[in-house]
A and B are shown apart, each in its own frame.
Chain A
Amino acid sequence: MNRDNRKEYCDKMLHAYELGILSDEERQRFESHYLECDYCYEGVKEFESVARLLREDKTVYETAKSITTETETTSGFTGVLSKLWDGTRKQATFAPLAAAAMIVLLMIPAYLIFIGGQQGQVIDLWGSRSADDTVFNIDPGEDVTLEFRYGDFTPGKEYIIEVIPYLRESVYTDSNFTAFNSHFVGQLTLSPDIFEDGFYKLLLSSVKGDPLMEVVFEVDKIESQE
Chain B
Amino acid sequence: MNLSQLCADAQKGDKKAENQLFTKLFERFLPIAGYRIRNRQDAEEVCQIALETILAKYKEIEFDEGFASWAVKVLDFKIRKYFDKRKHPLQDTTEMEGIEQNQAGLVEQPDFKLRDKLLECLKKIGKRNNRYARIIVMQFQGYKIDEICEKLNTTPNNVYVLLSRSRSLLKQCLEPGDTHEPGQ
A 1-51 contacts with B by CB, 8 A? 11-16, 18-23, 26, 28, 31-36, 41, 44-45, 47-51
Q: How large is the interface on B (under 10, 10 to 19, 20 to 34, 35 or more residues)?
A: 35 or more
Residue interface mask A146-164, B partner, CB < 8 A = 1: 0000011011110000000
Contact of A64 among B65, B114, B137 (CB under 8 A): B137
Report chain A residues within 8 Å CB of B28. 34-35, 41
Contact of B145 among A14, A21, A50 (CB under 8 A): A21
Report chain A residues within 8 Å CB of B142. 181-183, 185
B23 to chain A, nearest CB (A): 13
In the assembled complex, the Cα of A31 lies from the Cα of B111 at a distance in Å of 26
* B18 close to chain A: CB less than 8 A: no
Report chain B residues within 8 Å CB of A28. 69, 72-73, 76
In the assembled complex, the Cα of A116 lies from the Cα of B25 at a distance in Å of 53
In the assembled complex, the Cα of A65 lies from the Cα of B174 at a distance in Å of 20
In the assembled complex, the Cα of A57 lies from the Cα of B119 at a distance in Å of 11
Query: What is the total of A-B residue contacts with beta carbons within 8 Å?
Result: 164
The verdict on A21 contacting B143 (CB below 8 Å), with A15-B167, A63-B119 known, is yes
Report chain A residues within 8 Å CB of B145. 16, 21-23, 26
B45 to chain A, nearest CB (A): 15
In the assembled complex, the Cα of A20 lies from the Cα of B107 at a distance in Å of 18
A26 to chain B, nearest CB (A): 7
Contact of B123 among A44, A47, A67 (CB under 8 A): A67
Report chain A residues within 8 Å CB of B107. 151-152
A67 to chain B, nearest CB (A): 4
Contact of B72 among A26, A32, A41, A156 (CB under 8 A): A32
User: B72, A31: Cβ atoms under 8 Å?
Assistant: yes
User: Nearest A residue to B115 by beta-carbon distance?
Assistant: A53
The verdict on A12 contacting B126 (CB below 8 Å), with A23-B146, A31-B32, A54-B136 known, is no
Supply 15 A–B pairs (Cβ within 8 Å), ascending by A.
A12-B161, A14-B167, A21-B144, A23-B145, A28-B73, A36-B2, A36-B4, A56-B38, A59-B115, A61-B140, A64-B126, A64-B134, A67-B133, A156-B88, A181-B142
